Amino acid sequence: MATWRPDPTFYPSPRMAMKAPAETLAYVASFDPTRLVPDAISVVDVDPGSSTYSQMVGTVPMPNAGDELHHFGWNACSSCLCPNAPHPHSERRYLIVPGLRSSRIHILDAKANPREPKIVRVLEPAEVAERSGYTRPHTIHCGPEGIYVAALANAAGDAPGGVFLMDHESFDIRGRWEIDRGPQRLAYDVWWHLGYDTMVTSEWGLPATFENGLDPEVLLGGRYGHKLHFWDLHARRHTQEIDFGAENQLVFELRPAHDPTKAFGFVNSVISLKDLSASIWTWYREGDAWAVRKVIEIPAEAADPEALPPMLKGFAAVPPLVTDIDLSMDDRFLYVSCWGTGDLRQYDVSDPFAPKLTGTVRIGGIVSRASHPKAGKDALNGGPQMVEVSRDGRRVYFTNSLYGAIDEQFYPEGIDGWMVKLDADPAGGIAFDRDFFVAWPKTHRPHQVRLEGGDCSSDSYCYP
């Protein structure tokens, strides 16, 4: 008798997910900063045994120009095995790909030919706004009850931003997630602690303050996001706000512990108004409430003003600009992207309150323009930005573009896109894979990376 079996890429625990087969493909959001040519999902061969290793082997152009593809995700993942909202016979089959600028959402079917996913549905901006009450969809997470989408603005492009839910099979928008949002107004990332029935959201800013680049007045005035919000996941109600202080601008990427018994996670603040440093904070349970503690501070580096873009000349320094972080599946190593200086850092966070730096590579950077073994002596620009870690923790991939209008503020000549891979030692330490360097077409720039079968920022688990 035939029986239904869960998708083989679903794992009940992070411990089991670490034993999954190695990925052979990576999907990368590629956008045209001029908004004249359609954006695309690029497919990169990451199988070292393949004749096309470290090459782009597929491209799926979007039907319109000007989307600014940014973050995207799967329709279903290991959270489908959770007992509170089980969907064990769903498939990790579709990529949910929003346009951050256009508010259009694309659904790509990757099952029949993973190297050439097919667009099977497009939700137009008017439908997204009407059904969800939101625009500028940013973060996609497959989770309990369906697909969660964090959006940066309401239907009018203003505050509040928030979260809406999509059906993970029909892709219809069900509607706004929040029942009671409390004081929350700005939005950015969303994730959760399923074992503690808690959702967490972070903050960036409204479209008017970033779609034409970062606004210096808003930045120096401390008016970008600097708070974390905690929610009752089941009741869909705001429970707590933690303010990092206006000095710590742009509280961005949320990386909760994968082990559902652990009530902590990490978040980055991109820049300090005090000294241009960047910081990493740990959130954790303290009694009956949540608390935060700064655990890493990365200083700015002094630089000749002549080597700096206009936005930084007066400071005579390069800020690290920590714009992304990622946590290995065993919750041991935290990877930190310093888009300004060009560093990708690895920290041992076995003790989440006392991280230890265990590895660093440098590539690109506002001043350093460090190269890669496969790029020869060519000076590279951009820097480590969106970072993704394989499920077994042995491979780290990253790209070098942040956001079209912001790229030019820090790299005025425009960014030449690339994607690289690091080999990670299980005991600590990272090094470039000398054979893996993907130069992007001049028409596009790469942003988020998603790995075939899942990765360290795609899935949630209900069992340790």
pLDDT mean across residues, the chain: 97
Adjacent-strand bridge partners of 286:
289
Give the tokens for residue 206. Answer: 């409204």
Point out the residues of the chain with pLDDT beneath 50. Answer: none
Domain-embedded: residue 8: no
Quote the pLDDT of residue 107: 98
CATH number at residue 348: 2.130.10.10
Give the tokens for residue 157. Answer: 């492009």
Quote the pLDDT of residue 353: 98
How many Å separate Cα 350 from the centre of its chain? 22
Domain-embedded: residue 409: yes
d(CA 141, CA 462): 15
Domain-embedded: residue 101: yes
3-state secondary structure of 429: coil
Per-residue pLDDT reduced to its tens digit, 78-135: 999 998 777 878 999 999 999 999 999 999 999 999 999 999 999 999 999 999 999 9
Give, as one character, the DSSP assignment of residue 305: G
Quote the pLDDT of residue 424: 98
How many separate domains does the chain show?
1
Quote the pLDDT of residue 329: 98
Quote the pLDDT of residue 85: 74
* Contact predicate 438/417, CB 8 Å: no
* Contact predicate 316/301, CB 8 Å: no
Per-residue pLDDT reduced to its tens digit, 231-256: 999 999 999 999 999 999 999 999 99
Q: Which residue from 255, 199, 203, 192 is spatially nearest to 389, judged by alpha carbons?
A: 255
Domain-embedded: residue 151: yes
3-state secondary structure of 250: strand
Q: What are phi and psi of 220, to 5 degrees?
A: -70, -20
Q: Which residue from 246, 220, 325 is spatially nearest to 282, judged by alpha carbons?
A: 325
Quote the pLDDT of residue 1: 58
* Contact predicate 461/29, CB 8 Å: no
Quote the pLDDT of residue 2: 60
Query: At 126, which helix (H) or strand (E)?
Result: helix 125-132
Domain-embedded: residue 234: yes
Parent domain of 110: 25-451
Quote the pLDDT of residue 391: 98
d(CA 117, CA 107): 10
CA angle 385, 391, 397 (to 5 degrees): 25
Give the tokens for residue 59. Answer: 């491209």
Domain-embedded: residue 459: no
Q: Which residue from 43, 34, 97, 95 is spatially nearest to 70, judged by alpha carbons?
A: 97
Give the tokens for residue 117. Answer: 């996913």
Quote the pLDDT of residue 60: 98
How many Å separate Cα 396 from the centre of its chain? 14
Domain-embedded: residue 51: yes
Cβ-in-10-Å burial (0-12, 13-18, 19+) of 316 comes to: middle
